Amino acid sequence: VVLRLFGVLLTSLAAWYLGYFVAAHVPQNTVSIAALQEIGKKPVLRAPAPKRQKCGLWAPCPPGNFAYRILSGGGKQRRPKICFEDEDARVSLRRDRNVMCVSMNNQLCYSGYCYSNHMCCYDCTDHSREMMDFIRKAPEGTLLLIATHDDGSTRLKGDAKKLVEELGSKEIKNIKFRSSWVFIAAKGFKLPDNIQKEKINHSDQTKNRYKGWPAEIQIEGCIPRNLI
């Protein structure tokens, strides 16, 4: 028994001395256990921040294409936004129906507020007849981009709806009080079948995002330049 106790004591003393020796002679900058554990871990790859594209699209349009984005208004404060090739008409857009005329061949648009030699915006608040005149007098080879804010249906006459329907709209006849509606049409040429052309979101008290108003909706995409 005495020999066993002596052996245990001797072993403990040797272990303590070995630990003291290692602590005293190993450099302080030796790799820590935590650092050793990190060696086996896979490196974390961080994706670079996405580059902003024209009109805020997630991906750039292919060469030879125009970028567009149409966002309806939402509630009382969120104005609609119509963007074409990064030219933004949000500042002047107001209540009811807003129409932007964009020339595909750099001709001047008829009437409206012109941002450049190929972009005009017409605020047609409460003026169904003026909106019809604007659309009819827009030259061939132009795009018409339309977005509603607040209510675009109450003062919209039947003949105005028919005119927009002739441009290719399938939802204008269904527009209701405070419906969110966006639409893009071509005058004098045909748009590709695979692009977003129109969306509508009706006011529903059980689903509305805002008190009395539905959520905003948008369409966006790329339009080939060689359509005319």
Structure confidence by residue, pLDDT tens digits, 91-107: 445 555 677 777 776 55
Q: Where are the domains of the chain?
A: 2-39, 54-227
pLDDT the model gives residue 219? 96
Mean pLDDT of 48-60: 83
Q: Render pLDDT for 109-157 as a digit per residue (tens, 0 to 9).
A: 654 555 555 556 555 545 678 788 888 888 888 899 888 887 778 778 8
What per-residue confidence (pLDDT) applies to 200?
A: 95
Listed residue (148, 149, 160, 141) closest to 102, CA to CA: 141
Can you give the pTM of this predicted structure?
Answer: 0.70
DSSP class of 74: B
pLDDT in the model for residue 135: 85
Strand order from edge to edge, sheet including 65-71 = 87-88, 81-84, 65-71, 218-224
The residue among 57, 71, 50 whose CA lies nearest residue 149 is 71
